[in-house]
Amino acid sequence: MKKIYSLNLIAYIKLTTEIDPTYGKDFDGTIYAVFPCCQGVSFAIKQFRDSKCAVNLHSFLNCYKDIRKGIREVE
C-alpha cells in the first residue's frame, strides 16, 4: 500500500472507486491516505494523470469536503 498525499488525487480515487481510504500521520505531522491495492485504485490513478481527465465538479467538491472532515479527525 502506498501513501498518497495529494488531496485532489485522494478525492478522485474516492469519487471513482467509492472506496474510503485510511488516514494516517507522518512523524512530521503530514497527513496521508492509504487505499487498498486493487485494480480499481491503480486505474483511477492512471486516469487522474491523463490530461483529458474530467469529473462532475459538484460531486468532486463534495468528496473533497468529506476528505477534509476525515483529515480533521486524524489531527
Looking at residue 75, what is its pLDDT? 73
Average pLDDT of the residues in 36-61? 93
Looking at residue 73, what is its pLDDT? 87
Q: Indicate the pLDDT class of residue 56, thresholds 50, 70 and 90.
A: very high
For residue 47, report the phi and psi dihedrals to the nearest 5 degrees. -65, -40
Q: What secondary structure letter does DSSP report for 5? A: -
Measured torsion, CA atoms of residues 29, 19, 68, 48, in degrees rounded to the nearest 10: 90
Three-point CA angle 37, 25, 39, nearest 5°: 10
Looking at residue 66, what is its pLDDT? 93
